[in-house]
Structure 1
Amino acid sequence: MTGKKTLPREGRHAHTQDLRVFKGVEAWVFDLDNTLYPAETDLFKQINNQIADYVAKLLDLEREEAMARQKAYYHQYGTTLRGLMMEHDIDPDDFLRHAHDIDYSNITPNPDLGEAIAGLPGRKFIFTNGDRPHAERTAAALGITDHFEDIFDIVAADLMPKPNRETYEMFLKRTGVSPVRAAMFEDLQKNLAVPHRLGMRTILIVPKGTRDVFQESWDLEREDESPVDFVTDDLAGFLKAVNGTL
Structure 2
Amino acid sequence: MAQIDTWVFDLDNTLYSADCDLWPKIDQRITAFLVHLFGLDGLSARALQKYYYQRYGTTLRGLMDDHGVGAEEFLAFVHEIDRSSLLPNPTLAEAIAALPGRKLILTNGSREHALLTAEALGLADMFEDIFDIVAAELIPKPELVTYERFFDKHGVDPQTAAMFEDIERNLVIPHQKGMVTALVVPKPGQSDHREPFEIAAAKSFPHVDYVTSDLEKFLRDVLDNGLILPRQGDGGD
TM-score by length of 1: 0.86
Other-structure match for 1:173 = 152
Q: Secondary structure at the match of 2:181?
A: strand
Identity %: 51
Q: 1:239 and 2:219 equivalent?
A: yes
Q: 1:85 and 2:64 equivalent?
A: yes
Does the CA contact (< 8 Å) of 2:168 and 2:200 recur in 1? no
Other-structure match for 2:74 = 95
Does the CA contact (< 8 Å) of 1:108 and 1:141 recur in 2? yes
Which blocks of at least 5 consecutive residues in structure 1 are unaligned?
Answer: 1-21
Does the CA contact (< 8 Å) of 1:215 and 1:231 recur in 2? no
In structure 2, the CA distance between the partners of 1:62 and 1:215, relative to structure 1 (3 Å rule), is closer
TM-score by length of 2: 0.89
Q: Secondary structure at the match of 1:28?
A: strand
Q: Secondary structure at the match of 1:185?
A: strand
**Aligned residue pair count:** 218
Q: Give, in angstroms, the shift of residue 216 of structure 1.
A: 8.4
Other-structure match for 2:203 = 218
Return the alpha-carbon distance in structure 1 between the equivalents of residues 201 and 27 of structure 2.
29
Q: Give, in angstroms, the shift of residue 85 of structure 1.
A: 0.2
In structure 2, the CA distance between the partners of 1:216 and 1:92, relative to structure 1 (3 Å rule), is closer
Does the CA contact (< 8 Å) of 2:87 and 2:121 recur in 1? yes
Return the alpha-carbon distance in structure 2 between the equivalents of residues 190 and 71 of structure 1.
17
Other-structure match for 1:8 = none
Amino acid at match of 1:36: L
In structure 2, the CA distance between the partners of 1:74 and 1:216, relative to structure 1 (3 Å rule), is closer
Q: How do 1:37-48 and structure 2 match up within 5 A? A: 37-48=16-27
Other-structure match for 1:203 = 182
Does the CA contact (< 8 Å) of 1:81 and 1:95 recur in 2? yes
Return the alpha-carbon distance in structure 2 between the equivalents of residues 141 and 157 of structure 1.
24
Q: How do 1:11-160 and structure 2 match up within 5 A? A: 22-160=1-139
Return the alpha-carbon distance in structure 1 between the equivalents of residues 50 and 136 of structure 2.
22
Q: Tell me which of the two structures has the higher relative contact order, counting C-alpha pairs closer than 8 angstroms and 6 or more residues apart.
A: 1
Other-structure match for 1:15 = none
Return the alpha-carbon distance in structure 1 between the equivalents of residues 201 and 167 of structure 2.
16
User: Which has a greater percent of helix?
Assistant: 1
Q: Give, in angstroms, the shift of residue 122 of structure 1.
A: 0.2
Which aligned runs of 4 or more in structure 1 are off by greater than 6 angstroms? Answer: none
Return the alpha-carbon distance in structure 2 between the equivalents of residues 99 and 136 of structure 1.
15
Return the alpha-carbon distance in structure 2 between the equivalents of residues 93 and 68 of structure 1.
23
Return the alpha-carbon distance in structure 2 between the equivalents of residues 84 and 242 of structure 1.
41
Q: 1:184 and 2:145 equivalent?
A: no
Q: Secondary structure at the match of 1:145?
A: coil
Q: Secondary structure at the match of 1:121?
A: coil
CA RMSD after TM alignment = 1.5
Amino acid at match of 1:87: D
